[in-house]
Structure 1
Amino acid sequence: MSGTDQGEATSPGRSRWGVVTIAITAGIVAAVQVGKVPPLITSLQAELGLSLMAAGWLASLFNLTGALFGVMGGAMADKMGARRVLMAGLAGLALAGYAGALAPGPAWLLSCRVIESVAFLSCVVTAPRLIAVATTLSQRNLAMGAWGSFMPIGMALAILGAPPIAAQFGWQGVWVAVASLALLCLLAVAWITGPRRWPQVPMAAAALPWRTLGQAVWRPGPVLMSLCFALYALQFFAVASWLPTYLIEVLGHTTGRAGVATAIVVAGNAVGNLAASWLLHCGARRWLLLLVAFVVMLLCGAGIFTPDVPEVWKLPLAFAFNLFGGLLPAAVLAGTAAHAPSLAMVGTVNGIVVQGANIGSLIGPPAMAFMIAGFGGWAGSYWLMAVCSVVGVGLAVWLGVIERRQGIS
């Protein structure tokens, strides 16, 4: 058995919270890359002559890459080594960000965005494996659940931070600032996870055959978690994408006020993720957290865009929608380590979950637009969320049955 195998075969004597913190930070930095575009689409269209179609691709390329290559990315990360792939991902984010700031036109910027999307996927499929290896079994749910907060925290930071930076330095200043964050995070990852400081750092697992990695993907638990994440992400990104438009066009909010309100609502999702990580640590059942998330999203979704509900309740309902919805990603992402056949295959299992999340994220905004246009305006959007939540309740109960049979807590 190799040194790496020995380090991953057993739980460490104590959790390395420095490694956990830098892994979650890397995820947040990667998520900022996703969130930097939506607040700046108007500026990009004005300065680069970006068409509406190109702007849509600029925002959705990350989801498309994850939807197509999530499983493959996770398996590649397990084969090549989590630390190596994470560092390559952060380097890619930095280089593509700096190059994007020099873009003379849409084609250059979109090309850089393609590189960023691959680099983003490299980060989000590898960080969970570092977290799993760095934590004791008793604290793994707490750490893996906290990892689930990376996306809403990064998105909220980007939504709040991009406009003031752009006001001073243009959209190019945002690209440079975010690329610099990735570079700093790369240096921190290299230092904190170096083999001298952390002998158990997961390296390449060339001994794992592709067939074994493939079998990990088709286990019932990961498939059910992926489907649940897809149904959740469809609703989350649909609401996050269209809430600012609704606040401006229907409720008469200013652009700045709508942006701040949306950032606060999205930040509520991060609170839900952190709450779920603590509940899992205290022994809460994963399927129950998923069940609560889908039921509350079903109830709150009925009032967010419905004209019959007083305006004063709109944002509290949206906040509750995201707060309780945040229970789901933390519970699912914590489950990747529990459902993986071994810690060496956490990246592969995480890949299928990430792929489900990105499929939902990719479908959500256009599906919401279709419901608004074809089913009675904004109120018609509720039927999309209702169907997703009802199906999600059934999948959550099914996951509970699978985990009881397999003895997974």
Structure 2
Amino acid sequence: MTGALPTSPWPATLLLVGAGIVSAVQVGKAPAALQAVQTALAMPLSQAAWLLSAFGVVGAMFGIAIGLVADRLGARRALIAGLLLQGVASAAGAMAQGPVLLITSRVVEGVGFLGAIVAAPALIAHIARGRGASGPLGAWSTFMPVGMALILFASPCLLLYGWRALWWVGSAAALVFACAVALHAPHVAAARDNASTAALLRQTLLARGPICLLLLFMLYAGAWFALFGLLPVVLQDGLAPSPARANALTALAIGAGAVGNLLGGALVAHGARPSSALAWAFGASAVLALVVATAPLGPAWRFGLVVVFAVISGIVPPALFAEAPSQAPHPNAVGATLGMMMQGNNLGLVAGPPAAAALTAAGGWPALGAGVAAAALAAVAVAWWLLPRTERSLEAPWSRISHDHR
């Protein structure tokens, strides 16, 4: 049953963004505690690496499938289920005495994470329908950098109580938000029509819009994570004499992406065409990648440009989230389209770091910068030439805002 939607979408949006932030904390706790987990459980690096890659592998393999389940189950129930899975699996991981249970719990967390981050924006798009969903979806896109920065800042204090403290805090936060969503999120009916799951899957896989969204998020994530491989080198050049300072600087750089997310959300909400915002953001990111990798700069300046890169590239996710509902090939395939888009994000996450390592081994940082720039320029081409049902314009996003609000 569908209840009346709230007068303003923002209270529910902020609740759902909070659920996304809690989900991002589950991603960030593993790198923050990796060394402590290795020491406590005597895990070799080959096993410990799975704590980092479990989420990416789940997303790369099952994104669209989990999106289809969310469409059939209903976005609200899928979000609650995803948060409950994260909470229970994080608690199981906190009690693990060996690597098998801990890694298994991370895989289950990954399923819950993907369910939550596919369902939440679909729910936001529904409750903000007709009142401009671009702003709320732009706010949603801040969930990952905010959650990652939050756990990086909090981890030094939590690790004083051992690595399990991060898992217990993650569990408690996910379960609390599952209850909050169950009590306060608007009710939205699950999809009910004659379209079969197989037909929706086929339509989504073959539609140009979802394919473009997958490619764009894959190129964005691959370039972002590849370039941020430079960050440890910058920090080792004297900016981070202690691990706590390194964590703080890393959190600053990642958190800068949230500023870009808000900027992108504001641009789209005030009339910027998504294709134009995407093209300009990717183009500027290509230039910045080349400068960061090749210019003769000191470590502080290089780090500053990495922060600027995070802000500029942060415009991309809100533009993609805002575009996703209109690119769905069927009203009941919004979750599947978002799942396909997130599948691209995870493919980039999985492929970006190895590609960066290969480029660096072959030609050093100039080769890495060229590779990141090439990925960004390929994304410009996808956004400009392939994204359907979008006015093709390379005017600056802010120029249309000025024109529309005179």
Query: Quick one: distance in 2 between partners of 1:151 and 1:381?
Result: 24
Q: What CA distance in whole angstroms lies between the structure 1 residues aligned with 2:57 and 2:184? A: 32
Alpha-carbon offset, residue 156 of structure 1 = 1.0
Match of 1:234 among 222, 230, 241: 222
Distance 1:99 1:48 in 2: 15
The aligned counterpart of 1:355 is 343
1:246 corresponds in structure 2 to 233
Q: Deviations over 1:211-251 (max 9, x none)?
A: 034313432122112111110100112233x2442134344
Secondary structure at the residue paired with 2:390? helix
Say if 1:360 and 1:214 are closer, same or farther in 2 by CA, change over 3 A.
same
Tell me how far apart the structure 1 counterparts of residues 343 and 192 of structure 2 sit (CA, whole Å).
22
**Does residue 190 of structure 2 align to residue 203 of structure 1?**
yes
Return the match for 1:380 from 351, 363, 367: 367
Change in CA separation of 1:234 and 1:280 when aligned onto 2, cut-off 3 Å: same
Deviations 1:193-215 (A, max 9, x none): 2xxxx4x5233536431203431
**CA distance, structure 1, for counterparts of residue 231 and residue 310 of structure 2:** 15
Q: CA deviation at 1:312?
A: 3.0
What's the CA shift string for 1:136-174, capped at 9, x where partnerless?
32321111122111111111112111222112x110011
Indicate if the aligned counterparts of 1:29 and 1:181 stay in contact, CA closer than 8 A: yes
* Change beyond 3 A, Cα 1:27–1:202: farther
Task: In structure 2, give the amino acid aligned to 1:43.
Answer: A
Whole-angstrom CA distance in 2 between matches of 1:404 and 1:380: 34
Residues 244 and 258, structure 1, Cα contact 8 Å, conserved in 2: no
**6, 9, 20: which one aligns with 1:27:** 20
Query: CA separation in 2, counterparts of 1:152 and 1:270?
Result: 6
Structure 2 partner of 1:189: 181
**From 56, 66, 70, the counterpart of 1:63:** 56
Q: Which amino acid aligns with 1:395?
A: V
Measure, in 2, the Cα distance between the counterparts of 1:402 and 1:124.
Answer: 25
RMSD of aligned C-alpha atoms? 2.1
Match of 2:213 among 208, 211, 225: 225
Over 3 Å counting, the alpha-carbon distance change for 1:172 and 1:142 in structure 2 is: same
State the Cα deviation string for residues 364-406 of structure 1 (Å, max 9, x = none). Answer: 1121122222223x3431122021012111111114564239x
Question: Could you tell me which residue of structure 2 aligns to residue 333 of structure 1?
Answer: 321
What is the DSSP-based 3-state SS (H/G/I as helix, E as strand, rest coil) of the residue aligned with 1:184?
Answer: helix
Q: Which segments of 5 or more consecutive residues in structure 2 lack a partner in the other structure?
A: 393-399, 401-406
Q: Letter of the aligned partner of 1:219 in structure 2?
A: A
Alignment of 1:250-399 (within 5 A): 250-251=237-238, 253-254=240-241, 255-306=243-294, 308-376=296-364, 378-399=365-386
User: What CA distance in whole angstroms lies between the structure 2 residues aligned with 1:258 and 1:301?
Assistant: 21
The aligned counterpart of 1:128 is 121
Task: Assess, with a 3 A threshold, how the Cα gap between structure 1 residues 206 and 88 changes in structure 2: closer, same or farther.
Answer: farther
Task: Please state how far the C-alpha of 1:344 moved relative to its aligned partner.
Answer: 3.1
Q: Do the aligned residues in 1 keep the contact of 2:235 with 2:299 (CA within 8 Å)?
A: no
CA contact (8 A) 1:301 1:321 kept: yes
Q: Distance in 2 between matches of 1:118 and 1:206?
A: 26
The alignment status of 1:151 with 2:144, answered yes or no, reads yes
8 Å contact 1:39–1:162 — kept in the other structure?
yes
Residue number in structure 1 paired with 2:404:
none
Unpaired stretches in structure 1, ≥5 consecutive residues:
none
Residue 142 (1) aligns with residue 105 (2): no
* Alignment coverage as a number of residue pairs: 391
Q: Does the Cα contact within 8 Å between 1:133 and 1:202 map onto a contact in 2?
A: no
TM-score, normalising length from structure 1? Answer: 0.90
How many percent of aligned residue pairs carry the same amino acid? 35
* In 1, Cα distance between equivalents of 2:298 and 2:370: 20
CA contact (8 A) 1:19 1:130 kept: no
Q: Is the 8 A contact 1:14 1:136 kept in 2?
A: no
- Of 298-307 and 266-275, the range deviating more from structure 2: 298-307
Q: Quote how far apart the aligned CAs of 1:23 are.
A: 1.4
Deviation of 1:342 after TM superposition, in Å, equals: 5.0
For the Cα contact (< 8 Å) 2:208–2:387, is it kept in 1? no
Distance (whole Å) between structure 1 residues aligned to residue 24 and residue 193 of structure 2? 29
Deviation at 1:178, TM superposition (A): 1.1
CA contact (8 A) 1:231 1:360 kept: yes
The Cα of 1:120 is off from its aligned counterpart by 0.6
The TM-score normalised by the length of structure 2 is 0.91
Q: Secondary structure at the match of 1:404?
A: coil
Q: Determine the C-alpha separation between the residues in 1 that align with 2:201 and 2:27.
A: 28
